[in-house]
Amino acid sequence: MEKKKQQQVVVVDDSAEVRQSIQKRLEEGGYETVSFGDGLEMLSSLRRLDDPPDLVIMDIDMPRLDGFSTCRKLREYEARKQLNWSGRDPLPVLLISSDDTLENRRQGFRLGCIDFIAKPFSPDEILRSVNSFLRPETAFAGMSALVVDDSQVVRYLVGRCLARIGLQIHEAGDGQTAYEMLCDQNLDVDLVIVDYRMPRMKGDEFVYLVRRCPETAHLPVLFLSSEGDSDHIITMFRAGASDYLVKPFISEELQARVKVHLQSRLYLSQLEEMNRNLYDLAVRDSLTGLYNRRYLMDFLTRIFARIVRSGMDLGCVFFDIDHFKRINDSQGHDFGDHVLAEIGALVRRLVRGGDLAVRYGGEEFVLILPRAGLGACIGVAERLRSSIESHRFTSGDKSCRVTISAGVATVLNDNPASASELIQLADRLLYVAKSRGRNQVAPKLVVEEEV
């Protein structure tokens, strides 16, 4: 029989939607997939195959034959050599279920299942689990470990064991060198494996120092030791160890312990990224991509007093779109949204890295310009006004040109005295610009008497 070019995963679920979702993500990940609507269909198909699939993903709750019963039947077929590939390792099964209980997990693992994933799940979660079993070298791709041991042989054996699960390996022959690599040279690793007894600096002293370094305070550290008495183990943990392993050890146990810590690190990293994304959603305007009014006030409150004390320049440009209601009335609100989104893009291209661009509300926008005096702020406002005036806004068969009016205010000699007063002053100057005919910039010093 021709050898399979891709690893094959069987998906068994009575929901066509679930099957399609899993299959789509696995195929994007490079797997071949086959699906069945229930366990009986799958068992019947397996008995006709000459070569087994590489893995089965199966729902517990299915009509005719549930996942547990299907798995039990599969193990019976394997034990009785009723499959064409009998004699090989048991077929790996990953269970999924909306009924995530401890008893269900225990029952699944007793049947030799490799993982249990609760519904609802993301397709990415399924792919990660499949990769961790079928492609262990990719599960932790991009992650690295530092192996610290005075024995070159131990470093080689541990490094080779960890390289099999995809880790990049760094080595140090003693604790002092390892500490310098981490805290002085800023070596970025995801886990440290360190021997307890070494020259120059013992393992417990090394970990104590690593825990005091802010960049490495939460780095997982696994001790290797030839001593396994309880007092010695307690000493390791008091020094700051995350885990330990007594020499001699088997590679499977080392890999299993390392995987637990790396998976936790991945989950923590994903959680931090999710929190950053959620925060970004909370403080950004979804239409323009600019920050929103809430973030503006938080930002200004944090920096205003510090900037005033330091004597640093701080400018504010407050602008809005002239006659925006006419655009909405004549072209429709969808086109109005298109104009707002394009203005957001124009603003993002114009501002510097340290500037803050905000959609204040409706058709109103604010720019906060640290280290910019009045002349620089006027220059920014004029470039923005000119850029928008010369831009043609087009969406489908609709097209128009728009203009803006802007007020420019800066902090000078503690005036304005607060962040909110700075915003209010720029807002009043905006209306001075409108009263003068629109499509212009009104700076603080030029129109001070009118304000």
In eight-state DSSP terms, residue 184 is I
Answer whether 144's CB lies under 8 Å from 168's CB: yes
> For residue 133, which of 92, 169, 181, 192 has the smallest C-alpha distance?
92
Sign of CA dihedral 99, 100, 101, 105: positive
Q: How far is CA 40 from CA 64, 114, 306, 378, in A?
A: 7, 21, 71, 75
What would the 3-class secondary structure string for 89-103 be?
CCCCEEEEECCCCHH
Q: How far is CA 233 from CA 84, 157, 230, 253, 442, in A?
A: 49, 23, 5, 17, 72
Answer whether 316's CB lies under 8 Å from 422's CB: yes
Calculate ∠ Cα 83-84-88, nearest 5°.
80
> For residue 194, which of 216, 225, 227, 157 has the smallest C-alpha distance?
225
Residue recorded with tokens 């007793």:
110
What would the 3-class secondary structure string for 293-348 be?
HHHHHHHHHHHHHHHHHHCCCEEEEEEEECCHHHHHHHHCHHHHHHHHHHHHHHHH
Token readout for 104 is 């269900």
Give the CA radius of gyration of the chain.
Answer: 32
> For residue 232, which of 198, 203, 191 has the smallest C-alpha distance?
203
Token readout for 163 is 């390289």
Residues involved in catalysis: 363
Answer whether 255's CB lies under 8 Å from 165's CB: yes
Token readout for 447 is 């129109």
Residue recorded with tokens 């000493």:
235
Q: Are strands 243-246 and 291-292 parallel, antiparallel or unpaired?
A: unpaired
Token readout for 89 is 């390792």
Phi then psi dihedrals of residue 418, to 5 deg: -150, 165
Interior/surface letters 246-285, b for 16+ CB within 10 angstroms, e for the rest: eeeeeeeebbebbeebbeebeeeeeeeeeeeeeeeeebbb
